[in-house]
Structure 1
Amino acid sequence: MTAPTDLHTLTGAYALDALDEDERVAFEQHLAKCEDCAQEVRELTATAGRLALAATMPAPPRLKAQVLEQIAGVRQERPHSAVTALSRTARRGHAMRWALAACVAAAAALGGTTLWQHQQADEARQQAEAAQRQADQINEVLAAPDATVTSTAVGGGARGSVVVSHDSDKAVFIASGMAKPPEGKVYQLWFTDGDQMRPAGLMNPSRASQSVLMTGAVDKASGVGVTLEPDGGSKQPTTQPVALLQLPA
């Protein structure tokens, strides 16, 4: 069993399903309380999934064992007990290298079969970096000195809240307990400007609770709306709003 002080280093192995049962249980208990590790797992899982799109043939049954043998020498650093922002960044970069090393080992185990290409790996890395930048922007709005919030019931026990920072001209929509949209549909966010509504981003249809950085400037918007739209969103609302919130002054 990995010691508790080593759990921070298991994000890469967890994302690649390379932990034994005891390690997985211990890490998932830790994951529920550690947002840094949760963010790393999300990024690494997305990266691994993107790289897997380049697979050209089914993996042989012994692939997992072969990968683990080849990456056994990849060294992971033990985190300090007091984790600073700099050390979190270093761990994230180390874990990302761990995942990429596993993909390289998998390619070698397949005897030269191309599992991923440089361009695809670069795209996956850029997507992870973009996700991190958006998370940072959300945190900046939530922590802004002038941040104000308004909330409303959305239906079915769900709630929606909007946090606005007029100084940064940004808003974050926070959903809790949203019902899954019907197949082929997505929740779309809107800023209301008088009688007009302008698109402000799409919600993730697979997540009941999430925080979304709304696209576009808050400017003089008086409120926020949520509608159910076709996949990809609409230029103008096509359904009645499932939620309307007045923006805090």
Structure 2
Amino acid sequence: MTDPHGLTGAYALHALPDAERAAFARHMADCEPCRQEAAEFAATAARLGLAATVTPGSALRERVLRRVTTVRQVPPVGRPVEWARRAGVRRAGALSRWALAACVAAASALGGTAVWQYERAQDAAERAARAEQRADALTGVLAASDAKSRTVSLPGGASGTLVVSDGRDRAVFLASGMAEAPRDKVYQLWFSDGGTMRSAGLMDPGRTEQAVLLRGLVDGAAGVGITVEPAGGSEQPTSEPIALMEMPA
């Protein structure tokens, strides 16, 4: 690795071979500019990762079908073009009636689809707004001028970086190479407060690379732990931590 300063983007995108990644992680522990740049790249990747396909609720279709019957079709405007009075007029008239019927059917279907899409768009917009708020908070921590970080080794060759902003009193955990959580289990993050554990949110069980904005304020916590919990999380840890990280100094 001849120029480690040029590998921050590849590191954030997990595009380095294992040997180079480990070497760069060691370099980054002593290089504040590289830590900052890698954190900013990771924030951008995390922001893009928050964009997810939204599945409409099961009750949405029933609501749409009920509303379709109340959607009033717009009456035709103007007079239809008169066909020339010649042989074939009857056939042309019959064809135009079939075309008109098809148009009306299509308009009705589009009307129902429009209502469905409108309600789905509203739901998606609300979820997108919440995701945008989380992304802004996450990016704010990683890009904060007072951000401090600590990188540790995790089981299975994974690594984790804890980034804390004292000014914002928030923390972000960046995971790299973590094994997927066991079936019906989830990784849960905890603030360590003088021997007690306070839930800091859940990680995505199906992703090995992720950035997580810890839930709640740091509020003087001494460190952060990770446990394996039943799906949905627990109020208190039910297993021994697989990792305990001190807050970066």
TM-score (norm 1): 0.58
Deviation at 1:120, TM superposition (A): 4.2
| Contact map agreement 1:52 1:116 (CA 8 A) in 2 | no
Give 3-state SS (helix, strand or coil) of 1:50's partner.
coil
8 Å Cα contact 1:187-1:205 kept in structure 2: yes
SS of residue in 2 equivalent to 1:123: helix
Deviations 1:80-135 (A, max 9, x none): xxxxxxxxxxxxxxxxxxxxxxxxxx996678479836544322211111111111
State how far apart, in whole Å, the 1-side matches of 2:50 and 2:58 are. Answer: 15
Matched residue, 1:50 = 56
Q: Which SS does the other structure have where 2:53 is aligned?
A: helix
1:230 aligns to what? Answer: 230
Contact 1:190–1:225 (CA under 8 A) maintained in structure 2: yes
Could you tell me how far 1:244 is from its partner in structure 2?
A: 0.7
Unaligned 5+ segments in structure 1 are 1-32, 57-105
Provide the C-alpha distance between the structure 1 equivalents of 2:127 and 2:208, rounded to a whole number of angstroms: 22
Give the distance between the partners of 2:173 and 2:44, measured in 1 at CA: 22
CA RMSD of superposed structures (Å): 3.2
Shift, 1:215, TM fit: 0.8
Aligned to 2:127: 127
- Please tell me the residue identity of whatever aligns with 1:50: P
SS at match of 2:56: helix
Q: Residue 160 of structure 1 aligns to a residue in which SS? A: strand
CA distance in structure 1 between the aligned counterparts of 2:158 and 2:45, rounded to whole angstroms:
27
State the distance in 2 between where 1:120 and 1:114 align.
10
Unaligned runs of 5+ in 2: 1-40, 63-105
Q: How does 1:1-249 map to 2 (within 5 A)?
A: 43=51, 45-47=52-54, 49-50=55-56, 54=60, 112=112, 116=116, 118-249=118-249
1-structure distance, mates of 2:247, 2:49: 34
Question: What CA deviation, in whole Å up to 9, does each residue of 1:32-76 have, x standing for no partner?
Answer: x9x989956853x423x33798457xxxxxxxxxxxxxxxxxxxx
Provide runs of 4+ in structure 1 moved above 6 Å.
Answer: 35-38
Q: Percent identity between the aligned chains?
A: 48
- Paired amino acid for 2:230: P
Is the Cα–Cα contact under 8 Å of residues 226 and 241 in structure 1 kept in the other structure? yes
Aligned residues: 165
Q: Which amino acid aligns with 2:198?
A: R
- Structure 1 CA distance for aligned equivalents of residues 176 and 110 of structure 2: 44
